[in-house]
Structure 1
Amino acid sequence: MAPGDPVVDAIGTEELAELAVELLDVCRKKRLMVATAESCTGGLVTACLTDIPGSSAAVDRGFVTYSNEAKTEMLGVPAALIAQHGAVSEPVARAMARGALARSRAHLVIAITGIAGPGGSAVKPEGLVHFACATRRGDLNHKRIEFGPIGRGAVRAAAVTHALRMLLEAAQA
């Protein structure tokens, strides 16, 4: 794949397109379904995957849970957990992943919550993103990454790339 290819142009970069294709190939071969629970990425991971022809064989659904209420209503994240730790936190990312797994037919899910910017604080700076990847096998991995104040679009793109890598690693396990 290269620029000029409709899939690359739709997804945005060759790297993202290649990751998405590789993940979908592994999932199809292993008969795995994927779901996403996205906050700061606003559905970009799901869009990346569904831009690939034939993705319906491996993509079950995507939850875009940008607001705290959506996290609670759609994924079952306890409002008290969000109030205690904030939406951008490890406990909330883990709860989002568990909720997406429970509310889908997916074998593996990725949850993403972060501060794409502008803004942030000393405790939760701009560019902070929490990822949680859960599988039906019982795995639940968390990763906290500070991408830094590189701009909203760049944080979101970096988060999508990292999410696809986490899903690929889980699918290959």
Structure 2
Amino acid sequence: MELLEHVTDYLKEHQLKLATAESCTAGLIVSELASIPGSGESIDCGLAVYSPEAKNRYLSVSFDTIDKYGLTSEETSRELAKGALDKNDATVAVANTGVAGPEPQDDIPAGTVCFAWAFRHDQKVYLITETRHFSGGRNDVRLAAAHYALECIPKHHRSVLEGNAPLDE
């Protein structure tokens, strides 16, 4: 609960509005954050987009990207985050895609999650991606991934403010 309260406070303090584009966690990121009273003022929306068609339809993820890099890739999570930032009233977007388990998919081990965080600041977009591996059962992976996605928002936002985050080219 402390993590969720900290992230809620950070979003409020910096007047950030969050949109999520969730595949692996299926809405758990925004649901976890929404468990904190007052968090609603910092949430724009949470989108659960599992299929390639939904990723394309709602967030403009390119089928070429999915074909070339796969559903579980930083490239796909990057496009998810960009779509969530561009198509909503958000200043920060968090996206993920991965294999929660219990079995590997397409030679990708269960517990593999690709993340992207996109920030709109001073009329520029900054984008950070990362792949992590979590252990445990399917729902353990989903919860750990949701919390990790939230935990990184303040750290990555600070890197944007300090001019150390990569610009989206």
TM-score (normalised: structure 1): 0.85
Kept in 1, the 8 Å contact 2:99–2:105? The answer is: no
**Aligned-residue offset at 1:63:** 0.9
**Aligned-residue offset at 1:104:** 1.1
Out of 152, 156, 165, the residue aligned to residue 166 of structure 1 is 152
Out of 35, 39, 59, the residue aligned to residue 43 of structure 2 is 59
* Alignment-derived partner of residue 16 in structure 2: 32
Residues 1:153 and 2:133 are matched in the alignment: no
Residues 63-102 of structure 1 mapped to structure 2, 5 A cutoff: 63-102=47-86
Q: Deviations over 1:81-130 (max 9, x none)?
A: 11121110111010001000001111111101000002215741111100
**Aligned-residue offset at 1:145:** 0.7
SS at match of 1:52: coil
Counterpart amino acid of 1:144? Answer: T
* Alignment-derived partner of residue 6 in structure 1: none
Q: Decide which structure has greater strand share.
A: 2
Kept in 2, the 8 Å contact 1:32–1:171? The answer is: no
Q: Deviations over 1:52-80 (max 9, x none)?
A: 11112111111110111111111100112
Kept in 2, the 8 Å contact 1:134–1:140? The answer is: yes
Following superposition, which runs of at least 4 residues in structure 1 exceed 6 angstroms of deviation? none
Count of residue correspondences: 156
TM-score (normalised: structure 2): 0.87
- Work out the CA distance in 1 between the residues paired with 2:89 and 2:106: 39
Residues 1:126 and 2:113 are matched in the alignment: no
**Aligned-residue offset at 1:172:** 4.1
- Work out the CA distance in 2 between the residues paired with 1:108 and 1:127: 25
Structure 1 unaligned regions, length at least 5: 1-16
Counterpart amino acid of 2:13? Answer: K
- Work out the CA distance in 2 between the residues paired with 1:147 and 1:53: 28
Residues 1:141 and 2:128 are matched in the alignment: yes
- Work out the CA distance in 2 between the residues paired with 1:35 and 1:169: 17
**Aligned-residue offset at 1:162:** 0.8
Structure 2 unaligned regions, length at least 5: 160-169
Counterpart amino acid of 2:60? Answer: G
Cα RMSD, aligned residues only: 1.4
SS at match of 1:136: strand
